[in-house]
Amino acid sequence: MTDYHFDQVIDRHHTFSTQWDYIADRFGRNDILPFSISDTDFAVPPVVQTALFDRLQHPIYGYTRWNHADFKTSIQHWFERDKSVTVDPEWVVYSPSVVFSIATLIRLHSEPNDSVAVFTPMYDAFYNVIASNDRLLIPIRLQAADEGYQLDWDSLATTLAAPQTKVLLLTNPHNPTGRLFSKAELQRLYQLCQQNHVFLISDDIHRDIIYGDNRYVPITEVAQNGVALCCSGSKTFNTPGLIGSYVMIPDQTLRDRFLVELKQKNALSSVSIMGMTAQIAAYNGGSDYVDQLVAYLDGNMQMIADFIDAELPMIQFTRPQSTYLAWMNVSALNLSSEALQKHLIDDGKVGIMPGKTYGDSRYLRMNIACPQVKLEEGLNRLAKGIQAAHV
């Protein structure tokens, strides 16, 4: 088994990195340490680098097919590492991105001015994809780990029963709270959707980062009708710049409709060669990488918990069930989101995303997928910014 070195610090400046080279876009200045965009500061595993290098040796990068067994069965086998999960490779279709898939599925299952129900706080791209497709967002409150992960089932039932609600958009694991939905909860969600003729889209892009005894369950284990699962290996293996994702659509009629949108309406018949190559290599040979990655990230989450207990007890933080996103309750600081950000950026020189971006100004969202030396520095800068705010 290969030993991976997640402590290695790799300079990402001057690579056109969204997180490192364009810090000012989000925080107004470039001289800060960022913990923002949801990619990692880790090298991709050698099995992926080797596959990409080998493909680069062929000097022609022409139009390329994705609809073959190598692509689809790699995804099937990745999911079926959990022996209780079954995937039919025929369910799998390519998509350039998870958000493209979500937007397409929303259009296929609703009309302008219909509603899309979403658990909030939520991934900020969902706001734009819903609004820009002329749909209405209906929020359903989801509590964070420090509040017990409670879900308002009564509110959900009322929302789904409204005639204009056509889609429930789920993230499992949930971004930004790190909550996993159990099989029993997914069954209940699905039953409510079926009762009200609501289509269920599940964004499972964080599916591999699961801590402890918690278990990820794909929605396709609950049902194969009225659901679609959108995913990619890009978050786990740090390959979003290579472009590529996939969707599991068990219903053949819907799958055919999706492919019309993909191929006929958007001319996306050809796959990103490097994205597909990386996806196949990662899923065929990346299990040990993920095991070690999750163990390292678990240590990072513990580092945050220990630091907050010792240095910032006014912040509430409970380690999440999943994801590499630390969702920290800063409401006890008695600062507005704007005031806190000003002190973090100008005094602490640290870029941590305000919870307001995701729909809850009481929180900060910190991407902890980085070497521990960077995380330690970031936590010290967080403390410095907070201390400056209370001088």
Q: What is the pLDDT of residues 369-387, one digit of tens each?
A: 999 999 999 999 999 999 9
Answer whether residue 391 shows pLDDT above 80: no
Domains, the chain, with CATH or none: 23-45+286-389 (3.90.1150.10), 60-285 (3.40.640.10)
Q: What are 195-251's pLDDT values in tens digits? A: 999 999 999 999 999 999 999 999 999 999 999 999 999 999 999 999 999 999 999
Please tell me the predicted confidence (pLDDT) of residue 390.
Answer: 81
Give the closest residue to 101 by CA, choosing from 218, 227, 280, 281: 227
Residue with the bigger pLDDT between 1 and 188: it is 188
173 upstream amide cis, omega within 30 of 0:
yes
Place 355 in a pLDDT band, splitting at 50, 70 and 90: very high
Q: What is the mean pLDDT of residues 135-151?
A: 94
Q: What are 265-297's pLDDT values in tens digits? A: 999 999 999 999 999 999 999 999 999 999 999
Place of tokens 């055919």: 256
- Enter the tokens of residue 307: 């630091």
- Please state the pTM of the whole predicted model: 0.96
Please tell me the predicted confidence (pLDDT) of residue 2.
Answer: 86
Please tell me the predicted confidence (pLDDT) of residue 345.
Answer: 98
Please tell me the predicted confidence (pLDDT) of residue 102.
Answer: 98
Give the closest residue to 39 by CA, choosing from 379, 295, 325: 325
Q: What is the mean pLDDT of residues 323-346?
A: 97
Paired sense of beta strands 165-171 and 115-120, if any? parallel
Distance CA 120, CA 316 (A): 19
Alpha carbon of 175 to those of 121, 170, 317: distances in Å? 8, 10, 16
